[in-house]
Structure 1
Amino acid sequence: MVKNIQSTVTLHNGVEMPWFGLGVYKVTDESEIVDVVAAALNYGYRHIDTASFYQNEEGVGKGIRKSEVPREDIFVTSKVWNDEQGYDETLEAFENSLRRLETTYLDLYLVHWPVAKKYTETWRALEKLYTEGRVRAIGVSNFHVHHLQHLMKNANIKPMVNQIEYHPHLTQGEVHAFCKNEGIQLEAWSPLKRGILLNEPVLIEIGKKYGKTPAQIILRWDLQTEVITIPKSSNLGRLVENADIFDFELTSEDLKQINALNKNKRVGMNPDDLDQK
């Protein structure tokens, strides 16, 4: 059982990654992002997930420095965007992310999407950064099984993480099983399906049993299905509410009911809609 907000999972390279974190997609106002990151860290969060595409890395860095938490105690993730992919381009993008964050290293660097004819070269750049100690772990985002298989045929280092859209309407069973078998840690983006799931009757009923909100039920389900979760919020009350999921445990019947909500419905793009290899 994941015991608290700072509990970690050990990635296949031995790095400890927090199960629970803060996503900051679409939080672009600098004062807002600074305040929310600092508040989250001071409350107990230790995992912040950003990306160059989010255009808020500078604010994330300022929020980290504004907080009372030392940088070495924080797990910071960023991602290389699609138009930055390729070997040399990725190395440059990485340096730009470090500069904006004002940090000397990242804890996790991800290939944001499997861009055709580029992601294997992008991965080669990530391997270089990893072997040089510039980043503690490397991984991918939005990769289906066939992307992972293709990448691993051409890679020297297996991805440590695959961050995908994952929620009760999109359980991605094939990707989940493949990653578990390969020792690749799954991570959920948009775990609440951008709020769409908060009116789901099954989740409301399960929540009543534990005195929890539908959002809290979903986030607890993430953890009990062995998926790292990074809900986004810029509201302090919601930050606290999202993290209040460590004092109960869903039953196997609860999990079965939630899993049965799967509709294979996305709110984001299907990675296969990109022009593939």
Structure 2
Amino acid sequence: MPCSRVFILQIASYSTVPNTPQVSFTSTMSAFVQSKLLPSGNSIPNLALGVFQSNAGEEAYNTVLTALKLGYRHIDTATAYENESDVGRAIRDSGIPREEIFVTSKYYEISWIPWSTTPKQPWSYQDVVDGVRESNRKLGLGYIDLYLLHAPCDSATRAEAWRALEDMQAEGLVRDIGVSNFGEKHLLKLAKTWRVKPAVNQVELHPWLARPDTVKFCEDQGILMEAYSPLARAEKMDDPVIMEIANELNATQAQVMIAWSLAKGFISLPKSVKESRIKSNLDSAKLKLSAEQMAKLGSLDEYFVSGWDPIKQHEI
């Protein structure tokens, strides 16, 4: 949503945080960040602050406030991150109108976490409903813009979990619903019973993990792609191609990776708790990659997974 004017607001509540100076906030989203249209008719900014691994408490709170100060208007959290309350508190304390900030959260059947030692449990309709209500309570924002199933998890009860999100959307607690870490086969199975098509599919995407089959399937279905870990968890910063393009553009390697994500039409979700990097990530939206540079980046795909991979690990 381009903006023609920027107003500066002084937010007194921010200065009450211990060891945190008073700061000024832009009242509108950064003009160079674009938005995409969701099935609800609402718009989703294509660059967000991810708060995975932002420690609950003051770190998550201050990180979100910093991002809002700089012009971010899209925050991505989850029940598993354990910082929804801090995200909501920061948004409320920012003084920015609720409707100008886009918030995503996710629900996860925790027994499916890779390092869990407990037996994997099925989805429960009521657990998902309760999870959405608890997320809404913790965020304290009245509603949630986008809510996702965090991973496919149990195959037999997946449709039940999705029905719970459909019902929460019908109730008005969430505006749009989607999935995360779903492959095309997971989506094809879900399509047999869904009443509402997922608005987005959030997966790990970067030049070394382009997932062309999943991306094409979702694009053909009108499902927006969100890219988490767009920096490949900093494991490819020294790649010669990235370094060459960064030098050509007078940019950082991280900015090139995020710019690739945006050029592919994805909604990019970089994360950081450092103000300088949060700003640098936002500035990635100003970069324009040439066709030649995109081709070079396109040659890097090697199915390099930097985190987990439920697309392959979770049953169809």
Deviations 1:119-160 (A, max 9, x none): 211100010111222111100000000001111111011000
Task: For 2:39 and 2:137, locate their aligned partners in 1 and report how far apart those are by CA, in whole Å.
Answer: 28
Shift of 1:68: 3.2
Deviations 1:167-197 (A, max 9, x none): 1110000011011111000000111011112
Per the alignment, residue 151 of structure 1 pairs with: 190
Does 2:221 match 1:182? yes
Task: For 2:272 and 2:40, locate their aligned partners in 1 and report how far apart those are by CA, in whole Å.
Answer: 30
Per the alignment, residue 230 of structure 2 pairs with: 191
Per the alignment, residue 60 of structure 2 pairs with: 33
Q: What code does the residue aligned with 1:68 have?
A: G
Aligned-residue identity in percent: 38
Q: Which has the higher contact order (CA 8 A, sep 6+)?
A: 1
Per the alignment, residue 74 of structure 2 pairs with: 47
Contact 1:5 1:45 in 2 (8 A): no
Task: For 2:234 and 2:207, locate their aligned partners in 1 and report how far apart those are by CA, in whole Å.
Answer: 12
Shift of 1:275: 4.9
Contact 1:5 1:20 in 2 (8 A): no
- Listed as ranges, the matches of 1:239-254 within 5 Å are 239-254=278-293
Contact 1:12 1:183 in 2 (8 A): no
Contact 2:136 2:173 in 1 (8 A): no
Contact 1:12 1:184 in 2 (8 A): no
Per the alignment, residue 180 of structure 2 pairs with: 141
Does 2:273 match 1:234? yes
Contact 2:79 2:108 in 1 (8 A): yes
Task: For 1:141 and 1:44, locate their aligned partners in 2 and report how far apart those are by CA, in whole Å.
Answer: 26
Q: What code does the residue aligned with 1:54 have?
A: Y
Contact 1:81 1:111 in 2 (8 A): yes
Per the alignment, residue 209 of structure 2 pairs with: 170
Shift of 1:273: 5.1
Task: For 1:275 and 1:76, locate their aligned partners in 2 and report how far apart those are by CA, in whole Å.
Answer: 27
Contact 1:111 1:119 in 2 (8 A): no
Shift of 1:274: 4.2
Contact 1:42 1:68 in 2 (8 A): no
Does 2:163 match 1:110? no
Task: For 2:88 and 2:232, locate their aligned partners in 1 and report how far apart those are by CA, in whole Å.
Answer: 27
Shift of 1:83: 3.5
Per the alignment, residue 262 of structure 1 pairs with: 301
User: SS of the counterpart of 1:175?
Assistant: helix
Q: What code does the residue aligned with 2:73 have?
A: R
Contact 2:235 2:306 in 1 (8 A): no
**C-alpha RMSD over aligned residues:** 1.6
User: SS of the counterpart of 1:246?
Assistant: helix
Does 2:76 match 1:58? no
User: SS of the counterpart of 2:283?
Assistant: coil
Shift of 1:78: 0.3
Which of 243, 248, 273 is the aligned partner of 1:209? Answer: 248
Extract unaligned runs of 5+ from structure 2: 3-29, 112-122
Change (3 A) 1:128 1:29: closer
Q: TM-score, normalised by structure 1?
A: 0.95
Task: For 2:252 and 2:196, locate their aligned partners in 1 and report how far apart those are by CA, in whole Å.
Answer: 40
User: SS of the counterpart of 1:187?
Assistant: strand
Contact 1:11 1:184 in 2 (8 A): no
Task: For 1:273 and 1:200, locate their aligned partners in 2 and report how far apart those are by CA, in whole Å.
Answer: 26
Q: What code does the residue aligned with 1:247 have?
A: K
Contact 1:114 1:271 in 2 (8 A): yes
Per the alignment, residue 80 of structure 1 pairs with: 107
Task: For 1:172 and 1:269, locate their aligned partners in 2 and report how far apart those are by CA, in whole Å.
Answer: 14
Per the alignment, residue 94 of structure 1 pairs with: 132
Contact 1:23 1:231 in 2 (8 A): yes
Q: Which has the larger radius of gyration?
A: 2
Extract unaligned runs of 5+ from structure 1: none
Contact 2:88 2:140 in 1 (8 A): yes
Q: What code does the residue aligned with 1:107 have?
A: D
Task: For 1:205 and 1:69, locate their aligned partners in 2 and report how far apart those are by CA, in whole Å.
Answer: 39
Q: How many residues align?
A: 276
Contact 1:34 1:66 in 2 (8 A): no
Task: For 1:273 and 1:177, locate their aligned partners in 2 and report how far apart those are by CA, in whole Å.
Answer: 17
